[in-house]
Amino acid sequence: MNCWRHRDRVAVGVCTACGKGLCSEACGHDDGAIGLHCDEACAAHLRRRGARGDAPVGVVWSMLLVALGLALLYYGWHQTEWSLSVPNLLGMLFLWYGVVLLLQRFAQRRAPSP
């Protein structure tokens, strides 16, 4: 991959927001809080999104985990009647993890933004 600005130079990094290649000739900026970015528009996008790696998990994904956990628990109950079988253990794990993600999501929404 080559730098998006200097086509003849090899990229040494990638913009966190848009994925453009960045060379070592002052094309990339890294202020630590938001990650490596190519220009001010991408920096503003990363600031709106939050800190590096802080993208929130969607409600749909959390609900999918809860539904999968309930389906596994239902299957495990009808097949093994609440013994410690693999479907029951996986169902409890998926259900627990989905509920934790939902609670974290709602806690993030209620937290005051800086």
Query: What's the CA gap between 77 and 85, in Å, rounded?
Result: 9
For residues 49 and 4, state if they share a domain: yes
For residues 18 and 48, state if they share a domain: yes
> Across all residues in the chain, what is the average pLDDT?
81
For residues 68 and 51, state if they share a domain: no
For residues 72 and 106, state if they share a domain: yes
Is the pTM here over 0.75, yes or no?
no
Sequence-distant (6+) residues with CB within 8 A of 104 are 57
For residues 50 and 3, state if they share a domain: yes
For residues 48 and 73, state if they share a domain: no
Give the chain's domain count. Answer: 2
Query: What's the CA gap between 75 and 114, in Å, rounded?
Result: 45
Domain that residue 92 falls in: 59-110
Pick 99 or 111 by higher pLDDT: 99
For residues 18 and 46, state if they share a domain: yes
For residues 4 and 51, state if they share a domain: yes
Phi-psi region of 80 (alpha: psi -120 to 50; beta: other; left: phi over 0): alpha
Task: Give mean pLDDT, residues 74-83.
Answer: 79
Task: Give mean pLDDT, residues 78-86.
Answer: 77
For residues 83 and 36, state if they share a domain: no
Cβ atoms of 37 and 15 within 8 Å: the answer is yes
